[in-house]
Amino acid sequence: MSAKDEDPTEGSLTEEAFVDDLERALARLMTPIVDGVYAVVEATAVRRDRYLNDSDGDVTAATEAAIAYRATKTDRLRPFLVGLLPGLSIPGRIVVALWNRMRAIALVASLHGFDVSDVEIQREVLCCLVDADLSLERRIDTDDASRFVARELIGRASASSAKGRDAKRISFQCIHDILTADIAQKGAHARVHFRAKADKRKGNALLERVQQSLVSSKEQLELEDQLLLLEQAKDLFKSANKSDLVREAEKLRKSIENQKRVVSSQTSFSIGRAFIDFIFGMFRGIIDVLRHLLVRSSPNK
């Protein structure tokens, strides 16, 4: 059998058969989404550049446009997409729905500076299909992401199918409804995840720069510059909801503040010492001059 171009309200599959087919469909669709297909589909990187160009480089505006976009010409790709999935019993309209959702999420990831050819990012793109809690991301191995997502989708469809239907069979309609329902909210989940991930990466870069400046002679930063970078890093970590990294940046900031106070005290002491030395030297000079004058003015014996 091959992927079918039938109405998703018709037909169903057993749960295990659908898991297998859906898992393979997810894996096979990822490559053309990332790399594109010459004269048929734009690569994600090309779409990213186009969206950024249209929004004058504003990542937030480009992301909002990507989420708001509604594919209206995907039906012409249906034969092509179905052809990517030989031997699978998934209706064409479900393939199209998967394609649209995965492609949109991959674009959001790319707009935030991530390489969608990286298998780790592809895993996160797949997990965003089912709004997975990616704070638990390490529990989902990269190789198992497609199966994890397939089981999540089917688990939700199974709950709906159980009402008045054979609970052991999954309705095509339920899967289609899950994939096409509340597209904006699903896109927002991906936006929040990849923005937080980008903010964390930027914050880490600033934190590492400060740490390197403390131990390396390659880049010496003034104390004020170090404190400024740490404040920026803290703001990024807060945006990414990474409280442990906020604490780490704050701890380093306090250490640098203490160092600043020590340097300030040493500087004040040095200035005070120099002033005292100056005054003492001046008085010594005056005394020497007076002594010389007295010697010259004394009558010769």
Q: Indicate the pTM of the whole model.
A: 0.75
The dihedral region occupied by 39, where left means phi > 0, alpha psi between -120 and 50, and beta the remainder, is left
Q: Are 213 and 130 in contact (CB under 8 A)?
A: no
Tens-level pLDDT at each residue, the chain (301 residues): 445 544 433 455 567 777 888 888 888 899 999 999 888 889 999 999 999 999 999 999 999 888 877 655 566 777 778 777 887 778 888 888 888 889 999 999 999 999 999 999 999 999 888 887 766 545 555 557 888 888 888 887 776 655 544 544 566 777 777 777 766 566 778 888 899 999 999 999 988 888 887 776 566 677 788 888 888 888 888 888 888 888 888 888 777 777 666 555 545 556 656 666 666 666 676 776 666 666 666 665 4
CA atoms within 13 A on the CB side of 169: 10
